Structure 1
Amino acid sequence: MELNEFQQARLSRDPRFDGVFYVAVKTTGIFCRPICPANAPKEQNVEYFQTANEALVSGYRPCLRCRPESAPFSPAWNGTQTTVQRALNIIHEQGFHDLKLSELAERLGITDRYLRKLFVEKLGVSPKHYVQHQQVLFAKSLLHQTHMPIQDVAFASGFNNVRRFNDSFKKITTKTPSEVRKHPVSDAPIRLQLNYQPPFDWQHWHDFVDFRKIEGMEHVGSSSYGRTFYWPSDSGYIKGRFNAVHRPDKQGFNVSIVIDDAKQLYSVVQKIRQVFDLNANVGVINKALQSSGISEHNLSAGIRIPSCWSVFEAGVRAILGQQVSVKAATNLLNQLVEQLGDKEVVNGIEYRWFPTPQQLAKSRLLFLKIPEARKQTLIRLAKFCIDNPDTDPEQWLELKGIGPWTVEYAKMRGQSNTDIWLDTDLGIKKALDIFPLIEPAKASPWRTYLTFNMWNML
């Protein structure tokens, strides 16, 4: 962005730039989101940063009014297949507990020294400082929005003890956790507001998911979505569920979360963000789609990737969807969850959980009226995921019964991969017959949004 773009976005409080940059005020030592409702400072007193980390490192404190920690995370280069992006994905998916930077570098196939160099170059901070800042910013969000005790906030933010948490928090924000806390401690459910850059095409997201929902596992309302989930932990899996209410007036979702272990809260929140694709940089994506040949009339501005909770779930959905209608596949999924998934009644409501790979692998799937070959494909996938919990869907091609379409679909809805182009899909072929001038290659690395947009144009 050019300086005049920063200035215009700040003065107009343009929500499309929320999370793209931050405004630091030299006279107060505070940094804000560009949508902050406070009186706009004079330009000579302003400094701009592309990330909250850079503002923190430069000595600025986060604003208590607009709460920069709540801004959507969407830097301009987000979505490209860079080493830094891969590192951030691992950090945010794994969370902060037991995170070793040496192991992170090894997973990326680079040295610790080169990893530090890349982080400083792209984010302005070392990996260690980046993680610490994310911990503190997440803790600040919990202190501001929830009723959680400080000890629980510390553990949920990845700190092993409260003393270290207090020291780090005060060092970065200049305030103690007690001074930032807004609500009294209670047993109230965890409630957070998760923001995005508008526009958000809620109707498209809602309709896509509603047509494929699994009863008891997913709850879809006119302006809300909730579901149950498992999350890996030291003891195997923990259970949880969430409900999110869309608030377009706040450019976000009000989310309530129930989880067995608060230590996993950060990773779960990031996964919820992925489910709704809240980190999408809409402006960048729309430009790419228009460059591919989609007219402004046919462009579904704010279209998002409706993600499944896990790659395994996305793979099962794809396999059951082979050569049958969406409605038929959804019926099969409901049978699968009904027969194999855990159930729990809470306040008179029955909740169901999607089967784990272990639960599916133990079954012969006799209740499913599908070819035996397809049943065996499901069982092979489950066993493979048990042996390879961090599996890449590309590896599934080694399994009999799984082809490129299934893998691409799992990457699209299980990993929220932004650059999936389902050129073998019948719907896409039909759309290209109607709109032959569209050039998919020009939409890269955002071809997943092109895929959904093309389906939407039929």
Structure 2
Amino acid sequence: MWINDDVCYQALTARDARFDGQFFVAVVTTGVYCRPVCPARVPRRDNCRFFPSAAAAEAGGYRPCLRCRPELAPGHASVDARRRLARAVAARIDEGGLTDNHLGALAAELGVSDRHLRRTFGDEFGVSPVAYAQTQRLLLAKRLLTDTGLPVTEVALAAGFGSVRRFNALFRQRYRLQPSQLRRLPTSRHQDSLDFQLAYRPPLDWLRLLAFLGQRAIAGVEAVDDGVSRRTVALSRQGQALRGWLAVRPVPGRPLLAVTLSASLARAVPEVLGRLQRLFDLGCQPQEVSVRLGELAEAHPGLRVPGAFDGFEAAVRAVLGQQITVRAACTLAGRVAAALGEPLATPFAGLTHTFPDAERVAESSADTLGELGIIRTRVKAIQVLARACADGDLVLAPGAAVEDTLARLQALPGIGDWTAQYLAMRALGWPDAFPAADYGVLKALGETSPARARERAEAWRPWRAYAVMHLWQSLEKGEEKGE
């Protein structure tokens, strides 16, 4: 779905942040492409060419602006099925999805044919998935060269290039620069950490977002204090286990979040940044949401739907939270992390463990989980859930087929509509999820019938997940309870 070129030029002239990341503008006379919020002088209309993606602009022979840095543009949220598929594929590619897997494997994971994936992606972004992936690797490398002190060899590997020679050649060909030339720009470099920025479309209600996450923080794994979100990280990259920590805080006066990662996560930068974009819902388009929700969103126009840094972790927390308070669920989740997770040294008090992966939980005995205070029915539900995730039968990440995933979830023991819809909101990033049986939703609506709540929520489609957040916020504590 392309935006009219005249609308694009008006947005460029106004430097309208609502369009940041929606399109990119290339200037014929300079050979450079920019974000619509670029602070440079606005070019003449007849010198502008508009593209739906950075990859399409580079395919047209343009190189990225060094001032507005197209690699920092915020992402997208979409509800249309075809656009959701294309953007889910883009998100996987941004996170290195084509580094470890072939396109066919990615298509199979998303439940579509290779041909359909290619066609849908091309219609949305104007280039093939492979061309898009190459551009994203180069933009990530540019970002690492600009923002970190990593050696060029490490930059090439972290960005997904198998050969430093290939990386150098492509960088010179595409950007007309030697990689080392970007090192002349001022950077903040630390031997033990890496610093990045993530952009979003304002407004962003950071304090309420943190309050939601803080109430649900898993002891030893997550912590929220003084306006900063911190957590431990454990993931695998090209068969290598990577563990570390991160911290996220807002940049005063700018629509940016500052991210600090431990240097141990250098090989996983794209995946970690992608997960953070989902966690903080940085692809949200607040204006579209506010228009649909109307009066419901007036009090808090920057309210987001918190995602999940790890879908399996969120699923375990959700199962533990059924029919008990948020605080009690966090206590149990903390015990799971302490008993089954790996110890990790961090510079932050209270962050001591990584959360166990699905394979580790699936292999644990029922007695081990039961000794943590988890009731027998929850133990069984968690073990079956863990096995389904470990075997790849269940994918809890944005881009997974929503209806199929909901059906798979509810076919598991101990998981009903509330848990499935809650995970659709957070783990799948589905903006139209609606847990109609949620205690807080019913209370805020003054209803006792989930069917009646669904009927009233029809007016908020396709942004019902955002309506849920506003309904929870209308209650003083905003706590949800399980089925």
TM-score normalised over the length of structure 2: 0.85
Match of 1:341 in 2: 341
Match of 1:456 in 2: 473
Structure 1 residues 218 and 347 mapped into 2: Cα distance closer, same or farther (>3 Å)? closer
Q: Is the 8 A contact 2:100 2:238 kept in 1?
A: no
Unmatched tracts of structure 1, length 5 or more = none
Q: Distance in 2 between matches of 1:324 and 1:436?
A: 22
Q: Tell me by how many angstroms 1:62 deviates.
A: 0.8
Q: Tell me by how many angstroms 1:86 deviates.
A: 3.8
Q: Tell me by how many angstroms 1:219 deviates.
A: 2.2
Percent sequence identity over aligned pairs: 35
Aligned residue identity for 1:424: A
Within a 5 Å distance, the mapping from 1:176-255 to structure 2 comes to: 176-181=178-183, 182=185, 187-235=191-239, 237-255=241-259
Q: Distance in 2 between matches of 1:112 and 1:320?
A: 37
Match of 2:72 in 1: 70
Q: Distance in 2 between matches of 1:366 and 1:296?
A: 42
- Over residues 244-279 of structure 1, what are the superposed CA-to-partner deviations in whole Å (9 max), with x where a residue is unaligned? 111152211111112535332211211111111111
SS at match of 2:345: strand
Q: Does 1:422 align with 2:424?
A: no
Q: Tell me by how many angstroms 1:376 deviates.
A: 2.4
Q: Is the 8 A contact 2:445 2:453 kept in 1?
A: yes
Q: Tell me by how many angstroms 1:156 deviates.
A: 1.0
SS at match of 1:352: coil
Q: Does 1:135 align with 2:152?
A: no
Match of 2:399 in 1: none
Structure 1 residues 387 and 368 mapped into 2: Cα distance closer, same or farther (>3 Å)? same
Within a 5 Å distance, the mapping from 1:354-369 to structure 2 comes to: 354-361=355-362, 362-363=364-365, 364=367, 365-369=369-373
Q: Distance in 2 between matches of 1:79 and 1:170?
A: 38
SS at match of 2:370: coil
Structure 1 residues 295 and 452 mapped into 2: Cα distance closer, same or farther (>3 Å)? closer
SS at match of 1:379: helix
Q: Distance in 2 between matches of 1:14 and 1:389?
A: 43
Q: Tell me by how many angstroms 1:405 deviates.
A: 1.4
Structure 1 residues 69 and 125 mapped into 2: Cα distance closer, same or farther (>3 Å)? same
Within a 5 Å distance, the mapping from 1:298-447 to structure 2 comes to: 298=299, 300-347=300-347, 349=349, 350-361=351-362, 362-363=364-365, 364=367, 365-388=369-392, 391=395, 393-394=405-406, 395-433=408-446, 439-447=456-464
Q: Distance in 2 between matches of 1:265 and 1:133?
A: 16
Q: Is the 8 A contact 2:96 2:271 kept in 1?
A: yes
Q: Distance in 1 between matches of 2:333 and 2:115?
A: 47
Q: Tell me by how many angstroms 1:113 deviates.
A: 4.8
Q: Tell me by how many angstroms 1:114 deviates.
A: 4.6
Aligned residue identity for 2:153: Q
Q: Distance in 2 between matches of 1:307 and 1:203?
A: 16
Structure 1 residues 259 and 439 mapped into 2: Cα distance closer, same or farther (>3 Å)? farther
Q: Tell me by how many angstroms 1:228 deviates.
A: 0.6
Q: Is the 8 A contact 1:147 1:183 kept in 2?
A: no
Q: Distance in 1 between matches of 2:114 and 2:391?
A: 28
Aligned residue identity for 2:149: H
- Over residues 132-186 of structure 1, what are the superposed CA-to-partner deviations in whole Å (9 max), with x where a residue is unaligned? 1111111111111111111111111111011111122222222221222336887
Aligned residues: CA RMSD? 2.7
Q: Tell me by how many angstroms 1:211 deviates.
A: 1.3
Q: Distance in 2 between matches of 1:407 and 1:232?
A: 26
Q: Distance in 1 between matches of 2:108 and 2:463?
A: 28
Q: Tell me by how many angstroms 1:94 deviates.
A: 4.8
Q: Distance in 2 between matches of 1:116 and 1:54?
A: 15
Q: Distance in 2 between matches of 1:145 and 1:79?
A: 33
SS at match of 1:355: coil
Q: Tell me by how many angstroms 1:36 deviates.
A: 1.3
Unmatched tracts of structure 2, length 5 or more = 397-404, 476-483
Aligned residue identity for 1:326: V
SS at match of 1:249: coil
Structure 1 residues 54 and 442 mapped into 2: Cα distance closer, same or farther (>3 Å)? farther
Match of 1:40 in 2: 42
Aligned residue identity for 1:339: A
SS at match of 2:37: coil
Indicate the larger mover: 133-142 or 404-413.
Answer: 404-413
TM-score normalised over the length of structure 1: 0.90
- Over residues 421-455 of structure 1, what are the superposed CA-to-partner deviations in whole Å (9 max), with x where a residue is unaligned? 11111211122228989842343332211111121
Q: Is the 8 A contact 2:191 2:263 kept in 1?
A: no
Structure 1 residues 115 and 377 mapped into 2: Cα distance closer, same or farther (>3 Å)? closer
Q: Distance in 1 between matches of 2:72 and 2:445?
A: 39
